[in-house]
Amino acid sequence: MPRLPLGDWTDSAVTYLRDHFGPLFDVISAVVSGMYDGLDAVLQAPAPLLLAGILAVLALWLRGLTAGVLAFAGLAVVVSVQQWDEAMDTLSLVLVATVITIVLAVPLGIWSARNRTVSAALRPVLDFMQTMPAFVYLIPGIFFFGVGQVPGIIATIVFSLPPGVRMTELGIRQVDEELVEAAEAFGTAPRSTLLRVQLPLALPTIMAGVNQVIMLALSMVVISGMVGGGGLGASVFTAISQVDIGLGFEAGLSVVILAMYLDRVTGALGTRVSPLGRRAMAAAASPRGTRLWKYRPQTSVAVVGIVALALTAGGMGVLGGGDEKAAVPEADDVGKGRQVDIGYIPWDEGIASTYLWKELLERRGYEPKVTQYDVGALYTGMSAGRVDFETDSWLPVTHRSYWEKYKNELDDYGSWYGPTSLELTVPSYVKGIDSLADLKGKGKQFGGRIIGIEPGAGMMKMLNDTVLKKYGLEGEYQVTTGSTASMLAQLDRSMKAKEPVVVTLWSPHWAYSEHSLKKLKDPLGAWGKGDGIHTLARNGFAGDEPKVAKWLRDFRLSEKELTGLEGAVHKAGQGHEQDGVRDWLDAHPGLTDRLAPVG
């Protein structure tokens, strides 16, 4: 049966929309980005414990003293694991996506409830939207809106829209038809019947739909961390890519706390705003008062409490507090506080060089923002102008496919290290395997698998498309995908157990100094010649920041310097990369002025 080119059609459709409706997507991006930036600024302004107290008062008002105490304790845990800023970024994403989703979902749900033809037409569309894997929505989102928060929010809206529409339709359809007929019999207009009869009675079901929208939005926002959405999603993505169990648990626990808070608060809010819910609360209230842990303050008392917290915080100087950065000497202040967006993929030399430039730019008065991406998202972000530069492009071989696709939107500032080499590697205790040709017929010895890295890495494409074919290893070996950190973790685990294992690796890499490894020779030259590690920047960056562009073009590191820098960053540990860079720079006086001269 001939292959249906559905993927090609979809690709063409997306390209057509991007090329012909670019201004529309720019307007949408500006509106959504403005909403996010405004809300995030509000949530980030107060000191963490102050905002935690305000959110706890909200829980106290809606659910009682126990909920308020538990909410404050949970949010304090988020503060204590240093995930508060990320949690507020995630909350901003969730709230913006939820508001837009509700604005779209409620009218569609009302329309579907009042028109069966519309309901029948929307049902398969909603089924498609809800069953499509969430990751897929990120792909067109990146093409239409670039990387960052906007594609994550748009993908979240699409993914969380169906329950909002369905629950609104269900709530209106469940309203007793006799009540509607009675309203109509008294001459009530259809709009008044909807607003005064159907919607108030359907409100509990609609609020249940809002709750589901928020939960789905939270799950999708975490996924959007893969495309630079930031927040807790970025922490989770970093933990996965670097196999950092501690960070993964901290970020995951923060997601759970935020999800539980939003779930309980929105559930209680649905009861508060629903006439039936308020009637049930009044009937359940004890005439002789309630126990302390069931105490719920009146709305006026809750508002007074929030205002008192804000005033107290202002008087104590904690509102808008933050860590002050060390002042940059006037002679070194080239950047004057201008922001530079740096992207990187979680490869060791990329992490090390990125945080090196973050430190150098800070010492020169800039405010660099560092964001981790997958390889494809990073190139797309630079081509769209949302990332200024990155320092880890392996050219002309490994990242050839990305360079060929985006070279018209990017500038190559040259190689700062090289030549490099790509290779398959085995532990030195594995005997009889010295070249790629020796792997043939030995698949069972290695469990029929080659431990790979990120699926978007150019090395993985070369391995699957070229290397395995040239040496006749297709079918005998399966290349597992994951991350650089997971590959290194499997290598370490296998070596401790003295098990045979073959992994993807490259030179230079600190693993060769940590372990006794053997590079497999490539007599057929399948890997090609060694790459240089290049710095790429978006078109126009040199015009915006000529000084930084010149520093990047002149950037060079020797093998000794690079391996030393990687070792310092690796020793400092995840989350403290810049501390490792500072220690390394302190041990190399004069290097800052060599790499980023002021004169």
Q: 425 and 505: one domain?
A: yes
Domain contains 401: yes
Q: 173 and 30: one domain?
A: yes
Q: 460 and 567: one domain?
A: no
Choose among 46, 482, 471: nearest CA to 240: 482
Q: 415 and 430: one domain?
A: no
Domain contains 218: yes
In total, the chain counts a number of residues equal to: 599
Tally the C-alpha atoms within 13 A of residue 204's C-alpha that lie toward its C-beta. 10
CA–CA distance from 258 to each of 43, 92, 108 (Å)? 14, 12, 29
Q: What's 436's DSSP letter?
A: G
Q: 249 and 397: one domain?
A: no
Domain contains 63: yes
Q: Is the dihedral of CA 490, 495, 500, 503 positive or negative?
A: positive
Q: Which pLDDT belongs to residue 163?
A: 92
Q: Residue 358's beta-bridge partner residues? A: none
Q: 407 and 431: one domain?
A: no
Looking up residue 452, the CATH number of its domain turns out to be 3.40.190.100
pLDDT of 296 > 80? The answer is: no
> pLDDT by residue (tens digit) across 503-553?
999 888 878 878 899 999 999 999 988 889 999 999 999 999 999 999 999
d(CA 14, CA 12) in angstroms, rounded, equals 5
Structure tokens at 86: 């990320």
DSSP per-residue letters across 84-112: HHHHHHHHHHHHHHHHHHHHHHHHHHHHH
Q: Out of 59-63, 82-86, 477-481, which region has the weakest mean confidence (pLDDT)?
A: 59-63
Q: 215 and 255: one domain?
A: yes
481: region left, alpha or beta (phi > 0 left; psi from -120 to 50 alpha):
beta
Domain contains 333: no
Let me know: does 46 contact 320? Beta carbons within 8 Å. yes
Number of domains within the chain: 3
Q: Which pLDDT belongs to residue 325?
A: 56
User: Where a domain ends, among 517, 547, 566?
Assistant: 517
User: What proportion of the chain, given as a percentage, has pLDDT over 90?
Assistant: 40
Domain contains 377: yes
pLDDT of 303 > 80? The answer is: no
Q: What value does the mean pLDDT take over residues 43-60?
A: 86
Backbone angles phi, psi at 411, to 5 degrees: -115, 135
Choose among 289, 390, 253, 340: nearest CA to 544: 340
Residue 121's CB is within 10 A of a number of other CB atoms, namely: 11
Q: Residue 537's beta-bridge partner residues? A: 389, 411
Choose among 254, 120, 270, 259: nearest CA to 209: 270
Q: Residue 377's beta-bridge partner residues? A: none
Q: Residue 427's beta-bridge partner residues? A: 517
Let me know: does 377 contact 227? Beta carbons within 8 Å. yes
Q: Which pLDDT belongs to residue 507?
A: 83
d(CA 143, CA 335) in angstroms, rounded, equals 31
Q: Which pLDDT belongs to residue 67?
A: 85
Q: 413 and 433: one domain?
A: no
Looking up residue 395, the CATH number of its domain turns out to be 3.40.190.10
Q: Residue 411's beta-bridge partner residues? A: 537
Domain contains 326: no
Domain contains 584: yes
Q: What's 196's DSSP letter?
A: I
Looking up residue 34, the CATH number of its domain turns out to be 1.10.3720.10
User: Where a domain ends, among 456, 483, 517?
Assistant: 517
Q: 361 and 385: one domain?
A: yes
> pLDDT by residue (tens digit) across 469-494?
999 999 899 999 888 878 888 898 99
Displacement of CA 186 from its chain's centroid (Å) = 54
Choose among 419, 504, 517, 500: nearest CA to 468: 504
Instruction: Quote the domain boundaries for residue 397.
Output: 338-419+531-595
Q: How many separate helices (H) and strands (E) can be counted in the chain?
A: 27, 10
pLDDT of 322 > 50? The answer is: no
Q: 342 and 200: one domain?
A: no
Domain contains 445: yes
> pLDDT by residue (tens digit) across 336-367?
899 999 999 888 899 999 999 999 999 999 99
Q: 200 and 247: one domain?
A: yes
Q: 84 and 215: one domain?
A: yes
Let me know: does 224 contact 134? Beta carbons within 8 Å. no
